[in-house]
Amino acid sequence: MEEGAVQQAHVHAPPTGFWRKYVFSLDHKVIGKQYYALGLVAVFTGMFLSWLMRIHMVWPAAKIPLLEHLSPAGAPGGVITPEYYLSLLTMHGTLMVFFVLTNAPFAAFGNYFLPIQIGAEDMAFPRFNMMSFWTTFLAWVVLMLAFFIPDGPPIAGWTSYAPLSAIGKDAGPGMQFGMSLWGLSIGIFCIASLLGALNFIATTLDLRAKGMTLMRMPLCCWAWFITSCIALLAFAVLLPACILLILDRHFGTSFYIPGGLVVSDRLQPHSGGSPLLWQHLFWFFGHPEVYIAILPSMGIVSHILVNSMRKPLLSAKVVIYSMMSIGFLSYMVWGHHMFLSGMNPMSALAFSFPTLTITIPATILTLMWLGSLYGANLQINSASLFALGFISMFVAGGVSGFFLAQPSIDIYLHATYFVVGHFHMVMGVASLFGVFTGTYFWFPKMTGRMMNETLGKLHFWITFIGTYCIFMPFHYLGLIGNVRRYQSFVDDFMTPYIGVHKFVTVCALITGAGQFIFLFNLIYSRFKGKPAPENPWNATSLEWSIPSPPPWNNFGDRHPVVYHDPYQYGVKGSKGDFVMQDSPEQVVPASGD
Amino acid sequence: MSSSVVSTVSSQTNALASSKRASAQAALAYAKQARASSSGIWVGVFAITMSFAAFTSALFVREGTSDWSHLTLPTVLYFNTLILLASSLTVEMARRVLAAEPVQAGKGTSQKAGAWVWITLLLGLAFCAGQYRAWQELRAEGIYLATNPNSSFFYLLSFLHALHVLVGILVLAYLAVRLMASRGAIRRSLFDNTAIYWHFMGVLWVYLFLLCRMKL
């Protein structure tokens, strides 16, 4: 056992060789960067798909160069067919929700910073960690294959509602092999996410450094921990849902397909299945998934905002408890996606109530951020701008949630652009703003170089104004009755509003182009940026007590001991107005406090 | 001169102290890792439970539909259940043999534990063979996966459970080989967690069997 103990002093040996260092690495930092890179590829792919959709919507006859080569059937002569529009929509949603919003704020930053911030050398199970990244990568490859098969990607949308998702080629182009690839990809993604969540939970519970009590963990660690608990439950339900879908599609079972169903003039050879079963299982995953996307960003923003404010939050504990309540409540609200699916009005009420309740912890969080900002000496940089942008997006997108949560109003707004505007702002863009915040803040630690602030601020203003210009009109379009997922607007009542759509498309093109500033900044600063010191932001948490970039075993042979919570700002410390978590010095309040 | 002697002595003492500290740190890291593995297995058990809970809820939803029929389960399943429960006992025997010598298991102890693990593994394989037999009996009656919703659920649940049992068998095989080959150079936490997983497989099967017995 003694031998084993000595081997255990380091969880794994220093990496040697190209493959172990950069490809099949056990190092949580490399794995975090791999997740980030995959998220980056996915987000630009997803953005490009949204461009194609927006262009097609307002200029339906536009010829897109090269698209014909990718899909001769979907875009003959480069003109997108209505079905191919739905394929693009499905792939946009799937890539963004799974491979961007789940990967970037949670798996990428969580992997990189959770172990360092709690004073551990690595995640609890480095091999599982490596497996979970490569399984995610496999899921991405399987999904992307759908673009390159003759059938094309599925047209079912990212929610893939049964029974059409379960019956195969009668449901339209892409619904034969493309849909199968989708089901397989998401099934694989579930396994990867379960492995990841397991790793996060065990790491947070058991590998904390001496003195790092749960309440002394940085808020982003709390957010990653709560998110991993949500992910564990959510993906454990989506996986069975995908298994049942695959069985229905390929093994003749009838879990989701009802009897007597006629699609494309063909009687489907199934009996008795329940299409609503898919919706229940999917949304039992799907709603918590929204919080899997947004909670890590809430944690990241809270953590980084405190650093820019140079004073603690009104109450970090309240932030933690609010995030916990959101996590808990996220499991009681899935039915609010199904108000119009044929539900007992009483159960609609039962789902509406917790949905409205969840706005209470969300509002408390917002008040905590805004209240703490009051009187703070806020330092404006790219990271803090995006943190403020996050709060703005979260509030602006969240307010429309009040309307959608009420069954009577939702009857009108269901499946309109109002919903599209709502979730893009509150879950999509807000979560991405969290990722941008994290990137501008942690880039120096991850690469040893500073990002360019001017380009960062330019990126912020284009993105911030651009997103409002894109998604605010969506609410308006929804209110006038613009149904989502339509590829063109031929109804008389819609023709006066095509101008609004054109405005949105132009804004989407500009905002999307603005993201290349970010990409350029990322690549340029990686190689040519100003060298970063150990602690450029005068921050308190443990990652800033080690070199930038950190060595393979994070703390070397040092075993950090933690004396304070991570928000000792606005005090008299030996290094300035802050005291680091692992500094044994007494905290002296700054004069005047 | 004398001061240099003193410094040498003190540096030796320091070296000794630091090596002691290092080994204490290593022991601490080892204990942490063991705790993490234990958390890991319970979290894993929880996730698997959640997945089967989802299947159960699907079964309840499907039960209310018009084509729900009845499935007579093959009698071999009762026998399989007993085998799996017996294997839980044998893995517990192995655990107790190892627990008697907590620090360093001697060769005899190791091999004795290894023998119990082999027996557990064989019982596990016998269980899987028994499940295969049950599927064959159903097929012989003309009942396939897609015959009716009842048979779909039976094949699905028993197959997924067997898949999890096979994963357990792989880990047991690794442990058995290591225990027989050397002086217990396995991580005790790995053994204990495998035992927890194996017991869970028994509990899960009893639950699934009762569910199928009552609902299908």
Residues of A whose CB is below 8 A from B68 = 272
Q: What's the mean pLDDT when you consider all of chain A?
A: 93
Residues of A whose CB is below 8 A from B185 = 3-4
Average pLDDT of span B125-152: 95
Contacts of A248 (CB under 8 A, 6+ apart): A162, A166, A167, A254, A255, A256, A257, A270, A273
Instruction: Give me the pLDDT at residue B134, please.
Output: 96
Residue with tokens 């019982």: B123
- Residue A113 CA to residue A118 CA, distance in Å, equals 8
Binned at pLDDT 50, 70 and 90, residue B15 comes out as low
Q: Is A62 helix (H, G, I), strand (E, B) or coil?
A: coil
Beta bridge partners of A578: A569
User: Does residue B166 have a pLDDT over 80?
Assistant: yes
Contact predicate A68/A76, CB 8 Å: yes
CATH number of the B36-215 domain: 1.20.120.80
- Residue B129 CA to residue B149 CA, distance in Å, equals 24
Residues of B whose CB is below 8 A from A125 = 36-37, 40
Residues of B whose CB is below 8 A from A236 = 47-48, 50-51, 54
Q: What is the dihedral of CA A213, A215, A218, A220, to 10 degrees?
A: 120
Tell whether B25 is within 8 A of chain A (Cβ): yes
Q: Which run of H or of E encompasses B110?
A: helix B107-140
- Residue A218 CA to residue A221 CA, distance in Å, equals 5
- Residue A157 CA to residue A419 CA, distance in Å, equals 15
Reading the block at residue B26, the tokens are 């290593």
Q: Is A384 helix (H, G, I), strand (E, B) or coil?
A: helix
* Angle between helix A219-250 and B149-181 (nearest 10): 120
- Residue A288 CA to residue A291 CA, distance in Å, equals 5
Least confident of A16-30, A359-373, A495-509: A16-30
HSE toward the beta carbon, residue A273, CA cutoff 13 A: 30
Tell whether A502 is within 8 A of chain B (Cβ): no
Instruction: Give me the pLDDT at residue B116, please.
Output: 94
Residue contact B40–A281, C-beta within 8 A: no
Residue contact A232–B46, C-beta within 8 A: yes
What's the Cα-to-Cα distance from A376 to each of A405, A440, A570, B213, rounded to whole Å? 35, 21, 10, 65
Instruction: Give me the pLDDT at residue A4, please.
Output: 40
- Residue A357 CA to residue A114 CA, distance in Å, equals 30
Least confident of A10-14, A299-303, B54-58: A10-14
Binned at pLDDT 50, 70 and 90, residue A344 comes out as confident
Binned at pLDDT 50, 70 and 90, residue A591 comes out as low
Contact predicate A417/A341, CB 8 Å: no
User: Does residue A3 have a pLDDT over 50?
Assistant: no
- All domains of chain A, ordered by start, with CATH? 30-258+270-589 (1.20.210.10)
Average pLDDT of span A36-41: 97
pTM: 0.93
Residue contact A125–B61, C-beta within 8 A: no
- Residue A106 CA to residue A94 CA, distance in Å, equals 17
Contact predicate A151/A56, CB 8 Å: no
Q: At A589, give phi and psi (nearest 5°).
A: -60, 140
Q: What is the dihedral of CA A562, A565, A567, A571, to 10 degrees?
A: -80
- Residue A292 CA to residue A299 CA, distance in Å, equals 12
Closest CA to A332 of A349, A313, A314: A349
Tell whether A272 is within 8 A of chain B (Cβ): yes
Closest CA to A316 of A539, A565, A105: A565
Binned at pLDDT 50, 70 and 90, residue B30 comes out as confident
Q: Over the range A285-295, which residues count as b (16 or more CB within 10 Å of their CB) and which as e? A: bbbbbbbbbbb
What's the Cα-to-Cα distance from A185 to each of A32, A296, B54, B87, rounded to whole Å? 21, 24, 20, 36
Residue contact B36–A274, C-beta within 8 A: no
- Residue A242 CA to residue A190 CA, distance in Å, equals 9
Binned at pLDDT 50, 70 and 90, residue A157 comes out as very high
Q: Over the range B31-63, which residues count as b (16 or more CB within 10 Å of their CB) and which as e? A: ebbbbbbbbbbbbbbbbbebbbebbbbbbebbe
Tell whether B62 is within 8 A of chain A (Cβ): yes
- Residue A303 CA to residue A306 CA, distance in Å, equals 6
